[in-house]
Structure 1
Amino acid sequence: MSWNDEEEFLRAHLVGVVLNLKSSPERYKNFMCRACQLPFGITRLEAKDGKNLSEDFKDLLVDERVYGRHYGGKFPSSGTIGCYLSHRLAWKKMVQHAIPWMLVFEDDVKFCPNLLSRILYELLTRYKDSIDICNFSLRGAGMPLKVGEVLTHHLCVYGRDVYCAGAYLLNLKSAKQLFKYSFPMQFQIDDYYTQTWRWNLVFTGVEPRIACHDDHVLSDIKERGGRQFRKICYSSKLVHTFVYGGLACLSIVLREYLNMRRLIVALKRYAKVRIFSKKNFICDLGKIY
């Protein structure tokens, strides 16, 4: 199949969006210098700026009990909340317009347009029935386990921590589930959208990774206070150490539990896919002979 055919296929089956703050036009301009080379259109979605939200609204938005349990007693910063709400806008758009596949970008991500396009084509033609979310810009080693081949790269599931939502592909089924259960906010975006086992979805990634954040640019989250801050401080240093030390240990245990659940569900899905493929192959041989 020619490259022109691949381009037409991607234009017909895929929509791209980039999350960009109104206060960051230069970042959008720099991103589009690269993104305009993709064979499908990229729509700008105005990201939510967490620093413009009232403290009362933040308290209503976040499930402080669950969030604190997973993040050592911390509460999300304005940047973390804004990032979460911005990705939720992308899922909402996908659900409202019944878009079958969407590629979501953050505006400080770097990638090779040609390589990304070819990998997207391979994914949507060979693996569309066996992937739900596929990330291209992960951080963290993650202990990747190969479940497929994509050009010279590998389609992988992960047994350990991976994070980052800089560039990822998802289908409509995933968007519906993510959007449906997104309130109240219980996790930062990186950890929420990887919990695909909760909805019988599968989270995957491409290795070696083909996109990354521009570390020379200060992220909007860091500019607005980092990922989270401590909301409660105790007058007694001993109590403070005991409470947050205990919560930190609990968060480590819970994180490993989530990693295990995600991996088990993913491996079950791919084991079924391979068994089904072998059965089809045997049936085809039977018809031939």
Structure 2
Amino acid sequence: MKIFVINLSRATERRARMQSSFEQMELEFEFFDAVDASLPMDHVSVYNDKKRVHRKGSGLVPGEVGCFASHYLMWKKAVELNETIVVLEDDAVLSDEFKDVLENHIPRDLLEKNGYLRLGKGTTNTPKLHVQDRVYKYLKWPASAAGYIITPAGAERFLKHTEHEWVDAVDNYMDKDYLHGNYNLGIEPELLIQNDHGHSFIPGRERKKISLGRRLVRNFYRGRELLMTQLANLKFLLEYKLLNR
């Protein structure tokens, strides 16, 4: 599998760290130029800020839009190559067993069936269900796009629901398995953690206080998302025949 690391060309420290990590593991990889939020982003105009503000109470900052666009282009890359690829963000810190698990212990049948497999998660206490070997189904939102394996079919499912517009940060969109059909499956123990080393390239994430009305609308959509997630979990249990094991 080809490995791509999403990296802003000006993020030289991150680039050097990732280069060193892969050299130590003797793994080949390629840098993929991230969409730079400091430059015009006409090609990501499908981000719907009005709908985002209505649903969440605040919009995405430019860096979050650029981050989504970068992953979107990686999904297109998987389809264009017609290959399963590994996608990493440049603040991912890889575990010592990253290479061994990637080369020898990925359940290919399960990966092909599902479309993608997370290599790390953002929320440490995410409830999960054991599926097979080291693979778990996350029952809530793992909230990280720092590293994952994706097949062309999985990429097409992600692209299908973002071709005309998107409203979420990329990790939140990927969490919505009820929407795109790529179940949130991940490797445990994780093969990476996310660490920006105090140098975030997505400034302005701090959210401003919002009105009571906007909070009520946000809570409505959050409750609906949680309900849809639980329904997707039930669908997964039935599809993978895990209810009575």
Q: TM-score range by the shorter chain?
A: 0.7 to 0.9
Does structure 1 residue 244 correspond to structure 2 residue 214? Answer: yes
Which amino acid is 2:221 matched to? S
Selected match of 2:49 from 46, 52, 64: 64
Matched position secondary structure for 1:51 = coil
Residue 92 of structure 2: aligned partner: 109
Distance change (3 Å), C-alpha of 1:258 and 1:142: farther
Distance change (3 Å), C-alpha of 1:37 and 1:89: farther
Which amino acid is 1:189 matched to? V
C-alpha contact 1:70 1:255 (8 A) present in aligned 2? no
Q: What TM-score results when the alignment is normalised by the length of structure 1?
A: 0.74
Residue 138 of structure 1: aligned partner: 121
Residue 235 of structure 2: aligned partner: 265
Selected match of 2:153 from 166, 169, 173: 173
Cα distance in 2 for residues equivalent to 1:122 and 1:94: 21
Once the two structures are TM-superposed, the CA of residue 39 in structure 1 deviates from its matched residue by: 5.7
Matched position secondary structure for 2:166 = coil
Distance change (3 Å), C-alpha of 1:93 and 1:30: same
C-alpha contact 1:50 1:79 (8 A) present in aligned 2? yes
Q: Which structure shows the higher helix fraction? A: 1
Matched position secondary structure for 1:161 = coil
C-alpha contact 1:81 1:188 (8 A) present in aligned 2? yes
Which amino acid is 1:270 matched to? Y
Where do residues 1-289 of structure 1 align in structure 2 (5 Å cutoff)? Answer: 14-38=1-25, 40-53=27-40, 57=42, 60-71=45-56, 73-99=57-83, 101-113=84-96, 115-120=97-102, 121-125=104-108, 127-140=110-123, 141-150=125-134, 155-182=135-162, 183-221=164-202, 224-226=203-205, 241-271=211-241
Once the two structures are TM-superposed, the CA of residue 37 in structure 1 deviates from its matched residue by: 4.1
Aligned Cα root-mean-square deviation (Å): 2.7
Distance change (3 Å), C-alpha of 1:59 and 1:92: closer
Matched position secondary structure for 2:136 = strand
C-alpha contact 1:130 1:269 (8 A) present in aligned 2? no
Once the two structures are TM-superposed, the CA of residue 249 in structure 1 deviates from its matched residue by: 1.7
Distance change (3 Å), C-alpha of 1:268 and 1:65: farther
Q: Deviations over 1:68-123 (max 9, x none)?
A: 3442x211001100100011111111111211x1110000110125x122322322
Q: Rg larger in 1 or in 2?
A: 1
Cα distance in 2 for residues equivalent to 1:244 and 1:79: 23
Which amino acid is 1:23 matched to? R
Which amino acid is 1:62 matched to? Y
Deviates more, 1:21-30 or 1:34-43: 34-43
> Where do 5+ consecutive residues of structure 1 fail to align?
1-13, 234-239, 279-289
- Seq. identity, %: 18
Cα distance in 1 for residues equivalent to 2:232 and 2:40: 33
Which amino acid is 1:30 matched to? R
Which amino acid is 2:53 matched to? G
Deviates more, 1:256-265 or 1:204-213: 256-265
Which amino acid is 2:81 matched to? H
> Where do 5+ consecutive residues of structure 2 fail to align?
none
Once the two structures are TM-superposed, the CA of residue 210 in structure 1 deviates from its matched residue by: 2.5
Which amino acid is 1:159 matched to? L
